[in-house]
Structure 1
Amino acid sequence: MERKPAQRFDPLPGRIAHVGGIESLVRDGHHYYFGFDESSDTVLSPLIDVPEAMAAFASEHMRRTTGAHDKNYWAIPVAAATGCSDLAGDAEREFTTEGLRGVLPAPESHLLHLLGAATGWNDRFEESPEAGQASERPGWDEEDPEFIDRCLQAIQEHGPQARPDEWTVARFHLSAAVRHLPGNRETLFAPVTEGIANHP
């Protein structure tokens, strides 16, 4: 039987020909691969669940410091990404639908890192004047990438009812990040939004 060609994936806007490597994560026991530029902490591709398709995507849309390479070259780092990561340990790279839905992302977690690397937290409070007002009271700097960690830390320690401003800001940014995830990531991480909605 003739083998079907690997599915092609469109590149992410503004992220073509970046220098980077291959990372992977596991969702409900299923591996997904993606391009990642550690130097700029930026996700470079959609989530791709077939190694051959990931290698083909990288050969077309990604670069190494030595330039462009073919699919055979990229097949090696794709295979290596199945078992190891430069970003997180194995346990941190494994997600389940119920786990994403059931709890808020932990401060400084790999999930939070991936959301930020995919979106740059490029959400502005014009979408939510309420969140903008909540951020002004403690005097947070929205350009500070660690402010979300601090919000989540406060919620984790004291609960959302005791820290309403932090909860309003964290809820807005997490929900907006999922909405703005590029490529097919919104579908994969949609349970994060459900977890936020279900959180007391």
Structure 2
Amino acid sequence: MERKSAQRFDPLPGRIAHVGGIESLVLDGHRYYFGFDYSSDIVLSPLIDDPEAMAAFASEHMRQTTGTHDMDHWASLVAAATGSSDLAGVAECEFTTEGLRGALPAPESHLLYLLGAATDWDDWFEESPEAERACERLGLDEEDSEFIDQCLRAVQEHGPRARPDEWTVARFHLGAAVRHLPGNWKVLFAPVAEGIANHG
């Protein structure tokens, strides 16, 4: 029987032919799949809500250590990603728009990890000299993305007004991450920006 043509998704810029596997998350009860490079902690694809389309995308744009593979090979990996994750517990991979909008990402949370993996936590300080100065005053290492966890922890424990420099750094980096999210990641995780604004 001839396989029906799956919906096509464009690859993310600069993330073609990586070695990786398949992960998934649930947003508002709807499951989305995505490619992931475990060796580099980088998201490799848009969020794809159709298993067949995810397999088709991976067969065209991704590899494994054994090379390229056909859709049937990738379909088995997509099926395996439905109920498990190599990145986090199943409950940590479930999100709601209301939750994204209502709270800041917790330090060391899977949400924070995904924001970093989707954007590769690029150096955005040129966009905000104010955040860079706050980072310098705090003595934070700009090359170590874990400083975001440190700033978020301080803000959540003491409040933005008591920790203005930490809040400046955390607010800027989370906002920049949302602005720089690739493909439909930006659309689906846009409520994170509302959560930032709600805590200002």
Residue 69 of structure 2: aligned partner: 69
2:87 maps to 1:87:
yes
2:157 maps to 1:157:
yes
Post-superposition Cα deviations, 1:111-167, rounded to whole Å, max 9, x if no partner, equal: 000000111111421211211111111111111121000001111111111100000
Which range is displaced more, 117-126 or 18-27? 117-126
Report the Cα offset of residue 6 of structure 1: 2.0
Report the Cα offset of residue 5 of structure 1: 3.1
The normalised TM-score by structure 1 is: 0.96
| 8 Å contact from structure 1 (residues 123, 173) kept in 2 | no
Matched AA of 2:29 = G
Matched AA of 1:89 = G
The normalised TM-score by structure 2 is: 0.96
2:121 maps to 1:121:
yes
Q: Could you say what the CA RMSD is over the residues aligned between the two structures, in angstroms?
A: 1.3
Q: Within 5 Å, which residues of 2 pair with 1:31-50? A: 31-50=31-50
Residue 22 of structure 1: aligned partner: 22
Runs of 4 or more above 3 Å deviation? none
Matched AA of 1:70 = D
| 8 Å contact from structure 1 (residues 36, 45) kept in 2 | yes
The separation in 2 between residues aligned to 1:198 and 1:107, in whole angstroms, is 18
Residue 78 of structure 2: aligned partner: 78
| 8 Å contact from structure 1 (residues 154, 163) kept in 2 | yes
Residue 194 of structure 1: aligned partner: 194
- Structure 1: tracts of 5 or more residues without a match: none
The separation in 1 between residues aligned to 2:7 and 2:169, in whole angstroms, is 38
Q: How many pairs were matched up?
A: 199
Report the Cα offset of residue 4 of structure 1: 6.5
Percent identical pairs in the alignment equals 81
Report the Cα offset of residue 192 of structure 1: 0.2
User: SS of the counterpart of 1:86?
Assistant: coil
2:10 maps to 1:10:
yes
| 8 Å contact from structure 1 (residues 16, 62) kept in 2 | yes
| 8 Å contact from structure 1 (residues 118, 182) kept in 2 | yes
Matched AA of 2:183 = G
User: SS of the counterpart of 1:36?
Assistant: strand
The separation in 2 between residues aligned to 1:92 and 1:60, in whole angstroms, is 29
Which range is displaced more, 121-130 or 17-26? 121-130
The separation in 1 between residues aligned to 2:35 and 2:11, in whole angstroms, is 10
- Structure 2: tracts of 5 or more residues without a match: none
Matched AA of 2:74 = W
| 8 Å contact from structure 2 (residues 124, 176) kept in 1 | no
The separation in 2 between residues aligned to 1:138 and 1:196, in whole angstroms, is 21
The separation in 2 between residues aligned to 1:90 and 1:105, in whole angstroms, is 17
